[in-house]
Amino acid sequence: MAATTLSLSFPERDIAVLTLDDPESSANVLSRHVLDVLEQHLNALDQHRDLAGLVICSAKPGMFIAGADLKEFAASLDAPKEEVAGYSRRGQQLFGRLARANYVTVAAIDGTCVGGGAELAVWCDRRILTKSDKTAYGFPEVKLGLFPGWGGTARTPRMVGLSNAVELVTGGESIDATAASLMGLANDIIAASNAPTDALVEAAIRMIRAERASDDYRRDRELWAFPLDISDTELGFLGATASAYIQQQTKGHYPAPLAALELMLGAASVDLETACQMESEGFAQLFGSPINRALLNVFFLNDRNKKATPALANEKPRKITSAAVVGAGVMGQGIAAANVKRNIPVTLMDTDQTAVARGVQGVLNEVAYNKQLKAPDVKRAVELAPLINGTLSDVELSRTDIIIEAIIEKRDVKQRLFTRVEPLTGDQTILCSNTSTIPITQLASGLDHPERFCGLHFFNPVRQMPLVEVIRGRKTNDATIATAAAYARGLGKSPIVMNDGPGFLVNRLLLPYMNEAALLLCEGANLADIEKAAKSFGMPMGPFTLYDVVGLDVAIHAGRTMAEAFPERVVPAPIVEVLFKRGRIGQKAGRGFFDYAPSKGGKPPRGVDSPEAMQLIKECQTGGPHKFPKDELTDRLFLPMLVEATRVLEDKIVPNVRDVDLGLILGIGFPPFRGGLFFWADQVGPAKILEKLQKYAPLGKRFEPTSLITNLAAANGHFYD
């Protein structure tokens, strides 16, 4: 493996090229083994006294280095702090050799260059990037509850300025080649080509020759070893503004960005070596923290989801080359746009010409949107227009590989559509419903080929929400599910395969949470306190804001579906029905639990307290206002969700706690820093969960512990076991 993961070659007598290419993975990662091999190669190169330069590149198009080996991180979470700091220092000192070598070092980057890969690159004298859609340079460590530990916080500010470095490190977002060039991270950009490695190496050799002639790289090495040239006033202003922004973005739930800011501010006045030592000490303090563990879990949940569902691993999915969406409303437009963005021709059908025209325009507006212009790019819209076909005719659906229904949420209307469309489909065409609540087996009851029918539930807004529920009806075959899941991945989504059942996965677990919030309100709890408890836990918005965003009409419809399925543990909250009957159905009506003024500048409307809603709430409260402790509000909101999640497992809707956790993170914004619902429950402990549930037992079946909970509590086990 050592010879093929990192190989050394000499295209010219005095030019060395180190090429990364992990033969067992689509990505290159910096494992301990790879670092050992790098050290061996650098030792060997030290013997070449006439070496002019070293180029570090990758043989994988679109992939330089995806960072450190996170599996090794996970295995070391309980390591002593001294050992973690030593691991950090080892990387700094190894990469630091690239900035002390007797030759010019150049990172030749095509594609992903993040984390430890970005750190390796900043220790090189120069960086060349390809101008490709795949090229992305960044430090995402804060998304794992860490900050760079191999010199990224020390070296980067000295190269690109403290303000730029703070933005890169604390934000965790990657930048493209153009932005890297403007910032000073990229010293040259070359056009993308069919042979990017060859072109990059040629450009790097030219750069090495120029640097040897000018000796600029040696002057930069000296400059970047000193403290930063920044006044106390500038330092104070940057610290204040950056800290305020970070607090606003993280709501205080993520400590790593602030820790990184404090580190870089404190290290600005010391030399590079001291800054590296400070970085190692700070890195060790964050490593293995509860939030680091939780965010690593989320990373592995997403990584697991990129692979085929284990039960379908041997089922080869069919390639989808064309799609159709029936229903040109908001959801239909979003699904159609997702196809166009991936260059999949899509037919958008509706029953009204005005709706079709509006739908096609909506798709083009989305796919052609230019962030810089803050408006659709007309040229791009013209280029993509041939990929979208608006129609009123069923016949035009017959030439597509997959048909997705996205019409009104009524079973009889959907079934009539499927009965009409199915005879027009080909022998392998997949028919799907975007239903959010109606059982797939029921919808398939009148079809001749229920084996080629499944649920494909996208979440709104489609452009932002990565989750897709792929739902297997009782007669759906494996080929259909495998193809539908692969198709969703091809759209850049994260599919979770599940069996049929009321509410499927996400809505089945979301409704107990929302309903419990409304029940608390009827018991006398303060609306603002409930909202605050949810947001303090880490939810992106409070439950009543969520009611208004979703729509109380939609919530009532979904609630009735759940009440029919599970009448013994669904207790309707009167306030929701009362507000609905008064026409207070949420943001789309300008009034729900809150009042809303018309939105401006495309921003979502902001809710304000409503005297009418407050009066209706007061009338629904059975015993008058009652002050609930914050911990009790948190328990009441999330324990019913957890209990229902264990029932989802017992009902075999999904096979694994990881499916539940990822589904809730991606589908409702369950706080990633908690690691997922079951991951959070493991931190609390099943025994403690059981104790809490027993406290709330008088409230009814929704707090009754399942066998899974009681068994784990008795065995001192964990859900993730």
pLDDT given for residue 602 in this prediction: 64
> Model confidence over 466-512: pLDDT tens digits?
999 999 999 999 999 999 999 999 999 999 999 999 999 999 999 99
Percent share of the chain, pLDDT over 70: 99
Compute the distance between CA of residue 179 and CA of residue 671 in angstroms, rounded to an integer: 30
pLDDT given for residue 29 in this prediction: 95
DSSP 322: -
Listed in sequence order, the residues at least 6 apart from 222 whose beta carbon sits closer than 8 Å to its beta carbon are: none
Reported confidence tier of residue 3, pLDDT bands at 50, 70, 90: very low
> Model confidence over 428-465: pLDDT tens digits?
999 999 999 899 999 999 899 999 999 999 999 999 99
Is pLDDT at 610 greater than 50 in this prediction? yes
> Model confidence over 183-219: pLDDT tens digits?
999 999 999 888 889 999 999 999 999 999 999 999 9
Which helix (H) or strand (E) segment holds residue 12: the answer is: strand 6-12
Is pLDDT at 124 greater than 50 in this prediction? yes
| Contact call for residues 498 and 651 (beta carbons, < 8 A) | no
- Cα 543 from chain centre: 22
CATH class of 319-499: alpha beta
Superfamily of domain 2-288: 2-enoyl-CoA Hydratase; Chain A, domain 1 (3.90.226.10)
Which helix (H) or strand (E) segment holds residue 342: the answer is: none
CATH class of 507-715: mainly alpha
Compute the distance between CA of residue 702 and CA of residue 642 in angstroms, rounded to an integer: 10
Compute the distance between CA of residue 253 and CA of residue 266 in angstroms, rounded to an integer: 22
| Contact call for residues 369 and 291 (beta carbons, < 8 A) | no
pLDDT given for residue 4 in this prediction: 60
Domain ranges of the chain: 2-288, 319-499, 507-715
pLDDT given for residue 590 in this prediction: 94
Compute the distance between CA of residue 138 and CA of residue 114 in angstroms, rounded to an integer: 5
pLDDT given for residue 676 in this prediction: 98
Compute the distance between CA of residue 340 and CA of residue 355 in angstroms, rounded to an integer: 19
> Average pLDDT for residues 355-382, to the nearest whole number?
89
> Average pLDDT for residues 402-410, to the nearest whole number?
95
Compute the distance between CA of residue 50 and CA of residue 551 in angstroms, rounded to an integer: 72
Helix (H, G, I), strand (E, B) or coil at 225: coil
List the 467-472 sheet strands across, edge first: 388-391, 346-349, 323-326, 402-405, 430-433, 453-458, 467-472, 494-499
pLDDT given for residue 1 in this prediction: 36
pLDDT given for residue 692 in this prediction: 97
> Average pLDDT for residues 355-361, to the nearest whole number?
96
> Would you call 289 exposed, middle or buried from its count of C-beta atoms within 10 A (0-12, 13-18, 19+)?
middle
> Whole-number mean pLDDT of the chain?
95
Q: Which residues are catalytic?
A: 457
Task: Please tell me the total number of residues recorded for the chain in this structure.
Answer: 721
Helix (H, G, I), strand (E, B) or coil at 102: coil
> Average pLDDT for residues 501-526, to the nearest whole number?
96
> Average pLDDT for residues 398-406, to the nearest whole number?
95
> Would you call 30 exposed, middle or buried from its count of C-beta atoms within 10 A (0-12, 13-18, 19+)?
buried
Number of helical (H) and strand (E) elements in the chain, helices listed first: 31, 21
Helix, strand, coil percentages in the chain from 3-state DSSP, rounded to 5: 55, 15, 30
Q: Around Cβ 33, how many Cβ atoms within 10 Å?
A: 14
pLDDT given for residue 2 in this prediction: 40
Which helix (H) or strand (E) segment holds residue 94: the answer is: helix 81-96
pLDDT given for residue 294 in this prediction: 98
- Cα 642 from chain centre: 22
CA dihedral 406, 410, 414, 417 (to 10 degrees): -100
Compute the distance between CA of residue 218 and CA of residue 265 in angstroms, rounded to an integer: 26
DSSP 231: -
Query: Residue 250 is encoded by which pair of tokens?
Result: 């993280």
Is pLDDT at 683 greater than 90 in this prediction? yes
pLDDT given for residue 652 in this prediction: 96
Compute the distance between CA of residue 138 and CA of residue 112 in angstroms, rounded to an integer: 9
Q: Which of 138, 100, 135 is nearest to 118 (CA)?
A: 138
β-bridge pairing 15-20 and 6-12: antiparallel
